[in-house]
Chain A
């Protein structure tokens, strides 16, 4: 049965819907870190359904695509936006200290909120942090962000249709 490695950077499809019939799916977290499941691609540790290590969830009717994401750990540097950003925006404006976020650094924005998302630093200056990929959500003034170390785990799916 397919097992998918997932990480805390971006959601990954772990189960596609069956092409016909009444589908069921059993999802098992084989790894040592938490996984979060979602029916949408914008899965996060805040909005997803927690599946701890060695836990399993049985879905009697898994008609849609199932995404999963792992967790991660926040660490320094921490930043606070001094201006709002828009969906698909790529710049977090800060009053100072933007250079602490170096190119290639993974960052998490507004953790613990529905707007939580993970992206990477493309470039920075004293007053801005440019992200790539672009941010999905809008973030207001005072939105917090920090470096983020994604974790990994493995979700196995056993599925079929009747």
Chain B
């Protein structure tokens, strides 16, 4: 199998609003990940949002500014959640590396 097969890596695009929304699951493309992977999240909207690894019920976690990007390396995160203070934004989350390449 080629290292980089044709087609985009599975990514998850989600509208995040003032209610905590899960925008990354541990099954990109429908296949559950079996080892920790790096994950990159881009805030493609014009409203900042807070990012946590659990159900967001308050404005906490890491602040992701509009247009900002965060990459979690070697993460054990199985889910990522977002929440805005007001309005909505769009997050795009994807695997950021391939760790099983030998």
Contacts and interface: CB of A to CB of B under 8 A. Distances in A.
Contacts of A40: 59-60
Grouping DSSP codes into helix (H, G, I), strand (E, B) and loop, the A interface class, with mixed when no group exceeds half, is: loop
22 contacts: A37-B61, A39-B62, A39-B63, A46-B54, A47-B60, A47-B61, A48-B60, A50-B53, A50-B54, A52-B74, A52-B75, A54-B74, A55-B74, A57-B62, A57-B72, A57-B73, A58-B71, A59-B68, A60-B68, A60-B69, A61-B65, A63-B63
Nearest to B70: A59
Interface of B: 50-54, 56-65, 67-77
B70 A114 contact: no
Given A50-B53, A50-B77, A55 B72 contact: yes
Interface residues of A, number: 26
B76 A39 contact: no
A50 B39 CA distance: 13
Contacts of A64: 63
Given A49-B53, A50-B53, A61-B65, A42 B72 contact: no
Contact of B62 (A38, A44, A46): A38
A60 B70 contact: yes
Contact of B73 (A56, A66, A114): A56
